[in-house]
Amino acid sequence: KQEVTQIPAALSVPEGENLVLNCSFTDSAIYNLQWFRQDPGKGLTSLLLIQSSQREQTSGRLNASLDKSSGRSTLYIAASQPGDSATYLCAVRTGGGNKLTFGTGTQLKVEL
Amino acid sequence: NAGVMQNPRHLVRRRGQEARLRCSPMKGHSHVYWYRQLPEEGLKFMVYLQKENIIDESGMPKERFSAEFPKEGPSILRIQQVVRGDSAAYFCASSSQMGQRDTEAFFGQGTRLTVV
């Protein structure tokens, strides 16, 4: 059974700092991995999708890496801003059907 | 191209009533997934449907919960005789293809169900 863990559960940083969020999964036979952002009381916004054959994906100040063999992914946020404050979720897709297994998220707060 | 649309956004039901949650997938998407997010917990898969078919319902509670995705109209998640423990955010996602490794899931804004 796939299990996804995210560390840390919560993180508070000053504005401008670079930071790394971690995601680990127990079954390395994944098809892809997605990072999402969730604002309080809101839905999920897809940030980055990494296919199993890829090592990393970049979008603006975000960079996600994937090490499938070790079951790890990181989300790097450069020059953090208060608007980055949200919960970041990692999810992996294992097998057909696009069923996603989610981690419990990292709650990020970027302070002025 | 509108995204995944869920309604209502907020739903309040008394214990014992029925709750109906609707999800219209993105245009061109024929695969729908329902997830539940309980307070202070992560999202958990409930059910995966294609038009007129339930493909995987391994995450659905055995009683009171049902889902459908008719040939015409939105997908419906139905909860009968709701209890306080059903209070949660219910999210719908859609995708265009099954089994394709590069398929991305797109999520709706969710329906927040409160049982009083």
Per-residue pLDDT for B31 more than 80? Answer: yes
Give bridge partners of residue A38 from the DSSP assignment.
Answer: A44, A87
Q: Which of B31, B43, B44 sits opposite A98 (nearest CB)?
A: B31
Q: Choose the mutation target among A3, A89, A99 for the interface with B, i.e. most B CBs under 10 Å.
A: A99
Q: Report the pLDDT averaged over residues A19-29.
A: 95
Tens of pLDDT, residue by residue over B78-96, are 999 999 999 999 999 998 8
Helix (H, G, I), strand (E, B) or coil at A83: helix
Flag whether pLDDT at A97 surpasses 90.
no
A69: its two tokens: 């063999």
Residue B12: alpha-carbon gap to chain centroid: 16
- The stretch A83-92 carries a mean pLDDT of 96
Q: Give the percent of chain A with pLDDT over 70.
A: 97
Helix, strand, or coil (residue B85): helix
The model's pLDDT over A27-39, given as tens digits with 9 standing for 90+, comes to 999 989 999 999 9
Contact A97 B91 (CB under 8 A): no
Q: How far is CA B29 from CA A5, B94, B114, in A?
A: 30, 6, 29
The whole-number average pLDDT for the span B105-114 is 93
Q: What is the mean pLDDT of residues A8-23?
A: 96
Sign of the CA dihedral running A102, A107, A110, B3 = positive
pLDDT at B99 over 70: no
Taking CB atoms and an 8 Å limit, are A44 and B98 in contact across chains? no
What's the mean pLDDT in B10-32?
A: 95
CB atoms under 10 Å from CB of A30, counted, come to 23
pLDDT for A1 beyond 90: no
Q: What pLDDT is recorded for position A6?
A: 96
Residue B1, pLDDT score: 52
Q: Does B42 touch chain A (CB under 8 A)?
A: yes
Contact flag A100-B105 (C-beta cutoff 8 Å):
yes
Angstroms from B74 CA to nearest CA on chain A: 18
Q: Between chains, do B107 and A34 touch, taking CB under 8 Å as contact?
A: no
| Residues in B 43-102 with any Cβ partner in A closer than 8 A | 43-45, 48, 55-56, 91, 93, 95, 98-99, 101-102
Q: How far apart are CA A24 and CA B8, in angstroms?
A: 34
Residues of B in contact with A41 (CB under 8 A): 112
Query: Sheet of B19-24: strands edge to edge?
Result: B5-7, B19-24, B75-79, B65-68
- Give the pLDDT band of residue B65 (cuts 50, 70, 90): very high
User: Cα separation of B66 and B76, whole Å?
Assistant: 8
Confidence label for A96 from pLDDT (cuts 50, 70 and 90): low
Closest CA in chain B for residue A30? B101
What DSSP designation does A82 have? G
* CA end-to-end distance (rounded Å), chain B: 36
Q: Which of B29, B38, B43 to mutate to test the interface with A (most CBs of A within 10 A)?
A: B43
pLDDT tens profile A66-78: 999 999 999 999 9
What is the mean pLDDT of the segment spanning B26-43?
89
* pLDDT at residue B101, rounded to an integer: 54
DSSP state, A84?
G
CA angle A74, A79, A82 (to 5 degrees): 100
A4-7, strands of its sheet edge to edge: A4-7, A19-25, A72-77, A62-67, A56-59
